[in-house]
C-alpha cells in the first residue's frame, strides 16, 4: 500500500506527484499567525451574551474556538492517541479499509477520493466513517487499536452533544424555532481524521486543498503541530492551537440557511518539516433528500439562495469555478416568433417552452431594433463615464432604487467577487422614478423611458399568452403580481482568465418574469441535465426567463 503516506518511511525528498505548480504551492515556510480568532467560553452557553458571541463570530469571522465545551480532556487525549496509533498499524491491516468509493462509510484513503485522476496529490491520509446511528455503524469500524470502538463511540456521542448545543445557540441567536437544525439537516454525523507525515519540503506541498466546509457545521480537534491556515483579506494566516480548545466552523449550509448572514472561510492545511500531524474532524451533514433553503424568517426581501438538495449543492455550488472556457453551445433553446399568423400556435410554444425548457427567445417582439441598439449604446457609454460621476450612484443599499454596485450587494462580506458591475433602477411608475435616473449620457432618460415602456408592453404580451395558455382569467398577472418593474444592466470588462472567474453566480430568477437583451458577446449559460451550456446571442432576439414566482403561480 504505497499509496498511503502513513506507510512510508525515511522520506528524504518530495516525490514529483506531490509538488504543486508555483501558483498553488505555499511557496514559503513562515506565515503570520492569527491571534484574533474568537475564543468563546461555553460555561454559560444559555446566556444571551455567549449566544451573541457565537452569532457575531459566525457573521464576522466564520471560525471560532470554544473552551469549557463539555468534552473531557481525557477523552480528547484518548481519542487523539487512538488515531495516532491507527495510522501506525501495519499496512496490511489498513489495506482492508482502503477505498475511494464515496458510498463506503468506513474507509482510509490518501490525498482525495480522486487519487487516480488528480494531477497532484495532497500530503495526507484520511480515515473516515459515519457515527450515527451508532449501533448501525459500529460493526464497520476498526477493532484495532483494541479500545477503538469504545473510545470513539463515547467521543462521537459527546461531540454530537456539543455540536447540537452550539446549533441550539445559533437557533436562539437567529430567532429560529428551537430544534430547527435537528433531524434531516444534521442527519449524518461523520468523523474524518487527517494524518500528515513530516514532509521534507513543506513549501512545495499541501496537506489539504483550499476549501470551505460544504456541510452544516464542523468541529476540529487539533494536535500540537500547526498546519491549518485560513484565507483572510486575501492572505493565508496560520491558526494557532490552544491545547484542549476545539475549533468550530459553520459550514456552507449554515450560510445558506442564515440567508447569507454567516460566512464560511476558505481554509487549507500546510505540511510540517519535522513532525507528523493529526487532526480529528467531526461533521454534521444534511440527509441527501432534504430540501435546504434560507429560513423563511430570515428572508427580508429575497432569498439569496435557491432551494436545493445537498448532493445538488455539492455539484453546482461548491465547484463554482467554470474551470474550462469552452462550453457546448445550446442550439435548441426555443425561438418563438411573436408575429406568428396563428396566435394559438405561439401560445402553445410559449407554454411548452416554460414547461420543458424554462427559457426561450422571442423575435418579432415589437420592441424596435433601433430602440434596442440605442439603449445598449446608452449603457455602454454609461459604464465608460468618469468614475466620479458613477460614484454618485454607488450603493450596496438594497432599498435604494437607483444604484450601481460591483459583484453583489454583499461585496463587503462575500469571499469571492463576481467579475461585473451592475446598474439597477426602478422604471414603474415612470414619473415617480425618472428623477432618480442618471442625466448622462444626455439621452439617458429619454431613451430608457421609451425602452421601459416598450419592454413592459412586451412583458404583458407574454404574460397574456401565458394566461391564455394556462386558462387563467385575463389580467391574472396584472396589478400586484407585476407591480414593480426594474431594469438591471450587467457590465463585464474583458477578463484575463475566464476559467477562474464568474460574471454572475449560479441562480434562478426569483421574480415573476425577466427579459434579457444580450449584446453580441456570449456569457450566459444554463444548467441543463447537470451540464453548463452557453446561450448563443441572436441579434435583436430577446431572451425570456419565467421566474420562480411564475413557477409558483
Ligand X SMILES: O=C(O)CCC(=O)C(=O)O
Residue numbers at the binding site for ligand X (CB under 6 A):
192, 194, 208, 213, 220, 222, 227-228, 267, 269, 279, 281
Nearer residue to ligand X within complex by CB, 247 or 533: 247
Residue 449 contact, options ligand X, Fe ion, none, Cβ 5-8 Å cut-off depending on partner type: none
Nearest in space to 466 (alpha carbons), one of 536, 397, 551: 551
H/E stretch holding 83: helix 73-88
Residue 346 contact, options ligand X, Fe ion, none, Cβ 5-8 Å cut-off depending on partner type: none
Residue 269 contact, options ligand X, Fe ion, none, Cβ 5-8 Å cut-off depending on partner type: ligand X
Please report how close the Cβ of residue 363 comes to ligand X at its closest, in angstroms: 50
Residue 230 contact, options Fe ion, ligand X, none, Cβ 5-8 Å cut-off depending on partner type: none
Nearer residue to ligand X within complex by CB, 128 or 482: 128
Residues 6 or more apart from 318 whose CB is under 8 A from it?
A: 212, 214, 252
Residue 270 contact, options Fe ion, ligand X, none, Cβ 5-8 Å cut-off depending on partner type: none
HSE value, Cβ hemisphere, 13 Å, CA-based, for 417: 13
Please report how close the Cβ of residue 320 comes to ligand X at its closest, in angstroms: 17
Residues that bind Fe ion (CB under 5 A): 213
Q: Tell the burial category of 198 from Cβ atoms under 10 Å away from its Cβ (0-12, 13-18, 19+).
A: middle
Nearer residue to ligand X within complex by CB, 108 or 228: 228
- DSSP label at 486? E
Please report how close the Cβ of residue 311 comes to ligand X at its closest, in angstroms: 18
Q: Which residue is nearest to Fe ion (CB)?
A: 213
What is the number of residues in the chain? Answer: 553
Measured CA to CA, the distance from residue 298 to residue 481 in angstroms comes to 22
Taking the alpha carbons at both ends of the chain, their separation in whole angstroms is 58
Residue 194 contact, options ligand X, Fe ion, none, Cβ 5-8 Å cut-off depending on partner type: ligand X
Three cell numbers, residue 285: 451533514
Please report how close the Cβ of residue 176 comes to ligand X at its closest, in angstroms: 25
Residue 279 contact, options ligand X, Fe ion, none, Cβ 5-8 Å cut-off depending on partner type: ligand X
Nearer residue to ligand X within complex by CB, 229 or 525: 229
Nearer residue to Fe ion within complex by CB, 213 or 260: 213
Residues 6 or more apart from 284 whose CB is under 8 A from it?
A: 160, 163, 167, 181, 186, 188, 189, 215, 216, 217, 218
Nearer residue to ligand X within complex by CB, 249 or 462: 249
Residue 509 contact, options ligand X, Fe ion, none, Cβ 5-8 Å cut-off depending on partner type: none
Where does 118-173 show beta strands of DSSP type E? 125-130
Q: Could you give the 3-state DSSP secondary structure of residue 406?
A: strand
The answer to whether the bond into 145 is cis (omega within 30° of 0) is yes
Nearer residue to ligand X within complex by CB, 142 or 281: 281
Nearer residue to ligand X within complex by CB, 267 or 492: 267
Work out the angle at residue 412's Cα, subtended by the Cα atoms of residues 408 and 418, and round it to the nearest 5 degrees: 35
Residue 110 contact, options ligand X, Fe ion, none, Cβ 5-8 Å cut-off depending on partner type: none
Nearer residue to ligand X within complex by CB, 110 or 482: 110
Residue 100 contact, options Fe ion, ligand X, none, Cβ 5-8 Å cut-off depending on partner type: none
Residues 6 or more apart from 342 whose CB is under 8 A from it?
A: none
- Asked if residue 267 lies in contact with residue 210, where contact means CB atoms within 8 angstroms, the answer is yes
Please report how close the Cβ of residue 33 comes to ligand X at its closest, in angstroms: 14
Measured CA to CA, the distance from residue 436 to residue 425 in angstroms comes to 8
Please report how close the Cβ of residue 227 comes to ligand X at its closest, in angstroms: 6
Bridge partners (DSSP) of residue 268 are 229
Measured CA to CA, the distance from residue 503 to residue 498 in angstroms comes to 9
Nearer residue to ligand X within complex by CB, 209 or 505: 209
Residue 216 contact, options Fe ion, ligand X, none, Cβ 5-8 Å cut-off depending on partner type: none
Please report how close the Cβ of residue 470 comes to ligand X at its closest, in angstroms: 47
Please report how close the Cβ of residue 192 comes to ligand X at its closest, in angstroms: 6
- Asked if residue 111 lies in contact with residue 119, where contact means CB atoms within 8 angstroms, the answer is no
Kind of pairing between the strands at 360-363 and 335-337: parallel
Please report how close the Cβ of residue 281 comes to ligand X at its closest, in angstroms: 4
Please report how close the Cβ of residue 249 comes to Fe ion at its closest, in angstroms: 6
H/E stretch holding 425: strand 421-426
Measured CA to CA, the distance from residue 523 to residue 53 in angstroms comes to 42
Backbone angles phi, psi at 375, to 5 degrees: -65, -45
Nearer residue to Fe ion within complex by CB, 193 or 295: 193
Q: Tell the burial category of 410 from Cβ atoms under 10 Å away from its Cβ (0-12, 13-18, 19+).
A: middle
Nearer residue to Fe ion within complex by CB, 110 or 452: 110
DSSP string, 315-375: IIIIS-S---S--PEE--S-EEETT-SSHHHHHHHHHHHHHHTS-EEEES-SS-HHHHHHH
Please report how close the Cβ of residue 243 comes to ligand X at its closest, in angstroms: 15
Please report how close the Cβ of residue 412 comes to ligand X at its closest, in angstroms: 25
Please report how close the Cβ of residue 552 comes to ligand X at its closest, in angstroms: 37
Q: Which residue is nearest to ligand X (CB)?
A: 279
Nearer residue to ligand X within complex by CB, 192 or 309: 192
Residue 245 contact, options ligand X, Fe ion, none, Cβ 5-8 Å cut-off depending on partner type: none
Amino acid at each position: 500500500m504505497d499509496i498511503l503516506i502513513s506507510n512510508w518511511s525515511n522520506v528524504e525528498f518530495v516525490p514529483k506527484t506531490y509538488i504543486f505548480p508555483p501558483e498553488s504551492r505555499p511557496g514559503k515556510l513562515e506565515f503570520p499567525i492569527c491571534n484574533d480568532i474568537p475564543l468563546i467560553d461555553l460555561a454559560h452557553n444559555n446566556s444571551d451574551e455567549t449566544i451573541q458571541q457565537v452569532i457575531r463570530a459566525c457573521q464576522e469571522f466564520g471560525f471560532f474556538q470554544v473552551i469549557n465545551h463539555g468534552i473531557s480532556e481525557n477523552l480528547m487525549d484518548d481519542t487523539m492517541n487512538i488515531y495516532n496509533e491507527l495510522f501506525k498499524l501495519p499496512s496490511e491491516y489498513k489495506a482492508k479499509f482502503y477505498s475511494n468509493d464515496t458510498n463506503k462509510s468506513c474507509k482510509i484513503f490518501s490525498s482525495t477520493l480522486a487519487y487516480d485522476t488528480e494531477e497532484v496529490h495532497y500530503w495526507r491520509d484520511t480515515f473516515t466513517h459515519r457515527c450515527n446511528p451508532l449501533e448501525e455503524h459500529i460493526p464497520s469500524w476498526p477493532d484495532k487499536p483494541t479500545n477503538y470502538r469504545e473510545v470513539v463511540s463515547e467521543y462521537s456521542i459527546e461531540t454530537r452533544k456539543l455540536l447540537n448545543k452550539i446549533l441550539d445557540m445559533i437557533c436562539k441567536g437567529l430567532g429560529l424555532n428551537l430544534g430547527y437544525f435537528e433531524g434531516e439537516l444534521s442527519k449524518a454525523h461523520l468523523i474524518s481524521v487527517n494524518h500528515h507525515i513530516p514532509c521534507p519540503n513543506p513549501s512545495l506541498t499541501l496537506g489539504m486543498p483550499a476549501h470551505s466546509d460544504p456541510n452544516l457545521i464542523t468541529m476540529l480537534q487539533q494536535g500540537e503541530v500547526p498546519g491549518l491556515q485560513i484565507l483572510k483579506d486575501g492572505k493565508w494566516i496560520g491558526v494557532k492551537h490552544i491545547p484542549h480548545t476545539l475549533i468550530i466552523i459553520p459550514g456552507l449550509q449554515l450560510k445558506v440557511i442564515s440567508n447569507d448572514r454567516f460566512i464560511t472561510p476558505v481554509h487549507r492545511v500546510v505540511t510540517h518539516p519535522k513532525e507528523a500531524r493529526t487532526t480529528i474532524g467531526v461533521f454534521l451533514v444534511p440527509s441527501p433528500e432534504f430540501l435546504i433553503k434560507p429560513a423563511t424568517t430570515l428572508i427580508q426581501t429575497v432569498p439569496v439562495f435557491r432551494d436545493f438538495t445537498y448532493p445538488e449543492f455539492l455539484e453546482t455550488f461548491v465547484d463554482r469555478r467554470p474551470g474550462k472556457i469552452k462550453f457546448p453551445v445550446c442550439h435548441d433553446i426555443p425561438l418563438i416568433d411573436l408575429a406568428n399568423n396563428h396566435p394559438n400556435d405561439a401560445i402553445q410554444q410559449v407554454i411548452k417552452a416554460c414547461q420543458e425548457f424554462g427559457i426561450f427567445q422571442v423575435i418579432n417582439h415589437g420592441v424596435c431594433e433601433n430602440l434596442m441598439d440605442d439603449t445598449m449604446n446608452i449603457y455602454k457609454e454609461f459604464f465608460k463615464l468618469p468614475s466620479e460621476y458613477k460614484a454618485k450612484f454607488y450603493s450596496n443599499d438594497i432599498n435604494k432604487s437607483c444604484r450601481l454596485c460591483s459583484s453583489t450587494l454583499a461585496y463587503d462580506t462575500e469571499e469571492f467577487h463576481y467579475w461585473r458591475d451592475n446598474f439597477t433602477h426602478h422604471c414603474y411608475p415612470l414619473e415617480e422614478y425618472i428623477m432618480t435616473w442618471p442625466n448622462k449620457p444626455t439621452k439617458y432618460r429619454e431613451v430608457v423611458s421609451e425602452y421601459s415602456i416598450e419592454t413592459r408592453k412586451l412583458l404583458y404580451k407574454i404574460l397574456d399568452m401565458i394566461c391564455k395558455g394556462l386558462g387563467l382569467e385575463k389580467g391574472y398577472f396584472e396589478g400586484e403580481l407585476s407591480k414593480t418593474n426594474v431594469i438591471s444592466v450587467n457590465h463585464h470588462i474583458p477578463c484575463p482568465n475566464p476559467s477562474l472567474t464568474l460574471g454572475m453566480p449560479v441562480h434562478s430568477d426569483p421574480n415573476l418574469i425577466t427579459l434579457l437583451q444580450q449584446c453580441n458577446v456570449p456569457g450566459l449559460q444554463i444548467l441543463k441535465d447537470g451540464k453548463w451550456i452557453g446561450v448563443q446571442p441572436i441579434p435583436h432576439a430577446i431572451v425570456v426567463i419565467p421566474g420562480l414566482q411564475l413557477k409558483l403561480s
